[in-house]
Structure 1
Amino acid sequence: MSLNIYHEARSEPQIGQLAVAHVTLNRASQSKQTVEQVVTAPKQFSWTFLQKSYVPKETDIFVDCIQTAMKAMTSKDFTKGATFYHRHDVRPKWAQSKTYVAKYGEHLFYRN
């Protein structure tokens, strides 16, 4: 989950990073999969199929992402069960069929 936060939301404020983490946790819970299975599932998160390195280049930021992941695992989900998100400047087709929940940082969050 720390890598997912790092690659998907490292430039976001902590609320945005936590929201991404909760999406990951919500997907895992709903699908009865591990966080690793959710993150590495084909075409679920852009960084996993854009062939970005799994090795973080900014170790200090990655340490913050680890701490954010820990906080997400020990805090209440404030995203109202969000399981999807995208940057505000992207218009994915799937968003039309989801329920908008909120905007955190630069991302819009949705649930089924």
Structure 2
Amino acid sequence: MAFALSASSVAPAQVGPGSEPLLAAASAQIPETIRPALLPAVATPETPEHDSLSTADPSTVETVAPGLSFESEVAELRSASAGSAELECLAGAIYFESKSEPLKGQLAVGHVLANRTKSGRFPSSYCGVVYQRGQFSFVRGHAMPHIDRSGRQWQNAVAIAKIVDRGLQPSPLSGKALFFHAKRVSPSWHAVRVGSIGNHIFYR
């Protein structure tokens, strides 16, 4: 059974004995069908080196000088626009799940979504992972809540989504995490803990 991810910015999750899904107490009822507000893209054979799911026009993709630190890459890639529907989904999840976390924690959250797309246990697109039923409590009515795109937190999330999608930085965790939860809750998950960053604990 897949574990659900709960948003960091909402009330603590209701976790009972033996429960695996982790949904926020403030969550509305999950709709019967969840479909992306943005159409998911499919990875193409032309982008095998990083298994990128982005469909951004290659001529518009920003270049990053080699050898930059992670923080410098984030600064270089900040933007109000993610550039594709898939990156919009990835950036949205990073934003709503970890916008108040340190940059490394946001990177780890981004890698969880990327790991899910490659695991065979979850949908194979970022939008498919984000909009999978019961997985993210910030999803409302087949869409994400309003985002202030002029804010630094959103622009950081966009930059980190690009970094994850292009494979510019490895995960700061030692294992390929597929799940995480906030430290304030203690779900009875039968999963292997792979690390903790900021306010999140990660599992595979």
TM range (shorter): 0.7 to 0.9
Match in the other structure for 2:172: 78
- Distance, in Å, in 2 between the alignment partners of 1:84 and 1:49 is 21
Supply the AA of the counterpart residue of 1:83.
L
Q: What's the TM-score, normalizing by structure 2?
A: 0.49
| 1:39-50 aligned within 5 A | 39-48=130-139
Q: Secondary structure at the match of 1:90?
A: coil
- Distance, in Å, in 1 between the alignment partners of 2:149 and 2:186 is 29
Deviations 1:24-68 (A, max 9, x none): 000011135101100110111221259884321363221111001
| 1:7-86 aligned within 5 A | 7-31=96-120, 33-48=124-139, 53-57=144-148, 59-60=150-151, 61-73=153-165, 74=167, 75-79=169-173, 80-86=175-181
- Distance, in Å, in 1 between the alignment partners of 2:97 and 2:141 is 12
Deviations 1:44-93 (A, max 9, x none): 12212598843213632211110011112222233310000000011223
Q: How many residues are paired up?
A: 109
Q: Secondary structure at the match of 2:139?
A: helix
Mark the runs of 5 or more structure 1 residues left unpaired by the alignment. Answer: none
Q: Which has the larger radius of gyration?
A: 2
Give percent identity, aligned residues only.
29
Mark the runs of 5 or more structure 2 residues left unpaired by the alignment. Answer: 1-89
- Distance, in Å, in 1 between the alignment partners of 2:133 and 2:150 is 26
RMSD after superposition = 2.0
More strand per residue: 1
Moved more, 80-89 or 57-66: 57-66
Moved more, 29-38 or 83-92: 29-38
- Distance, in Å, in 1 between the alignment partners of 2:107 and 2:141 is 23
